[in-house]
Amino acid sequence: MPEMNMAKAINLALFEAMTRDDRVVVMGEDVGPDEGVFRITEGLHAKFGDKRVIDTPLAESGIIGTAIGMAINGLRPVAEIQFSGFDYYAYHHLEMHAARFRNRTRGRITVPMVMRAPSGGGIRAIEHHSESREVIYAHAPGLKVVMPSGPRNARALLHAAIQDPDPVIYYEPKACYRLFKEEVPDQIETLPIGRAQVVRQGKDITLISYGATMRCTLEAAEMLEEEDGVKAEVVDLLTIAPMDTQTIIESVTKTGRVVIVHEAPRTCGIAAEVIARINEHALLYLEAPVKRVTGYDLPIPYFAREKAYLPDADKVLLAARETLAF
């Protein structure tokens, strides 16, 4: 089992998918000879050439709209939007068409495509390069939204996304690209879309997160154990939509206390939906209000102030302690 970081694991998944299925094409701005501004498409153009690794003009609506056309015409496009903040330009195609063709034509026309985009903050990037707006896709029926948190699940989820018969938004926590390495099996593996994972067992409190903030969430869990002797259970959503209610509820009914962590702004964030589902299925098990540790209801500040904006282990720890003390 080779060790690799998330950037490499995503690159590996693309390479494997293109090798095993020649319907898979990669497209986007600078994904060709430049191999992507984060080098995620490294080696692909050299190996698969212009036809299957397509440098597009600078136009996000064009990228996603043509990807939809390609998917309708039998390909499996994996379209990269250079930064998730720019996928807004293509939102109409995703919401109106990628999400709807199957439903609109009662299954006759389908759009098996993936939109990949680096998402979130933490890399001292300039304005519009650190956005977290997964909600606008999670709220759009017909799309699936996944977000890996480490090299191994990144590769497995991307394979699942590419093989999925429906359109998948695959958001990559760019802060994790080269943050740490993990062993990744030699065999291709997939993770079922729609399933969360309990990545740390515990009985006292449930910490729920996804993507980049899984790191500080797990750190906080360790601190809780070391400093307070509290056993925190940690859930990694992995899929944001459709959300795995069952795994969440099973943990909550056990612990009765919950903290949810994400970078995106709080209002109408993913945490709100998690809370709504806890309310529907496990209200009577709650021993304290569910706490939200999230980005504030602001555009993420320019990078000099972004650290204070982002969730971190201390914020999660504080929230967990307040929840436990409630």
Q: Token digits for 75?
A: 């390909």
Residue in 9, 12, 78, 125 binding another protein, rule: CB under 8 A: 125
- Measured from the CB atom, the residue of 86 and 91 that comes closer to ligand TPP is 86
Partner interacting with residue 279 (select from a copy of itself, another protein, ligand TPP, none; CB below 5-8 Å by kind)? a copy of itself
Residue in 16, 37, 188, 219 binding another protein, rule: CB under 8 A: 37
Q: Which of 82-90, 97-105, 218-226, 242-250 is the region at the interface with ligand TPP (rule: CB under 6 A)?
A: 82-90
Q: Which of residues 181-240 bind another protein (CB under 8 A)?
A: 194
- Residue in 46, 52, 55 with CA at minimum distance from that of residue 21: 52
Residue in 4, 26, 35, 114 binding another protein, rule: CB under 8 A: 35
Residue in 2, 33, 185, 289 binding another protein, rule: CB under 8 A: 33
Q: 122, exposed or middle or buried, with CB in 10 Å at 0-12, 13-18, 19+?
A: buried
Does 263 sit near ligand TPP (CB under 6 A)? no
Report the amino acid identity of residue 176: C
Which parts of 91-176 fold into alpha helices (H)? Answer: 91-93, 101-104, 135-138, 151-163
Residue in 15, 16, 62, 225 binding another protein, rule: CB under 8 A: 62
Count of other CB atoms within 10 angstroms of residue 162: 26
**What is the distance between the alpha carbons of residues 10 and 57, in angstroms, rounded to a whole number?**
23
Question: What are the angstrom distances between the C-alpha of 139 and each of 29, 32, 94, 136, 203?
Answer: 27, 32, 12, 5, 31
String marking each residue 45-64 x if it binds ligand TPP according to CB under 6 A: -------------x-x----
> Phi and psi of 195, rounded to 5°?
-120, 130
Q: Which of residues 130-189 bind another protein (CB under 8 A)?
A: 141-142, 144, 165-166
Q: Token digits for 301?
A: 């500040």
DSSP string, 168-231: EEEEEEGGGTTT-EEE--SS-----TT--EEEE--SSEEEEE-GGGHHHHHHHHHHIIIII---
Report the amino acid identity of residue 262: H
Residue in 15, 86, 285, 303 binding ligand TPP, rule: CB under 6 A: 86
Partner interacting with residue 65 (select from another protein, a copy of itself, ligand TPP, none; CB below 5-8 Å by kind)? another protein
Helix and strand totals (H; E) in the chain: 12, 14
**295 contacts 264 by C-beta, under 8 angstroms:** yes
Residue in 25, 114, 221, 275 binding another protein, rule: CB under 8 A: 25
Residue in 13, 41, 102, 191 binding another protein, rule: CB under 8 A: 102
- Residue in 121, 101, 122 with CA at minimum distance from that of residue 110: 101
Partner interacting with residue 26 (select from ligand TPP, a copy of itself, another protein, none; CB below 5-8 Å by kind)? none
Q: Which of residues 293-312 bind another protein (CB under 8 A)?
A: 296-299, 301-309
Task: Give residues in contact with a copy of itself (CB under 8 A).
Answer: 85-86, 88-89, 91-92, 95-96, 99-100, 103-104, 127-128, 133, 135-136, 138-142, 241-243, 264-265, 267-273, 275-276, 279-281, 283, 286, 288-292, 296-299
Total residues at interface with another protein (CB under 8 A): 80
Active-site annotation, residues:
129
- Residue in 319, 326, 325 with CA at minimum distance from that of residue 207: 319
> Contact residues for ligand TPP (CB under 6 A)?
29, 58, 60, 82, 86, 89
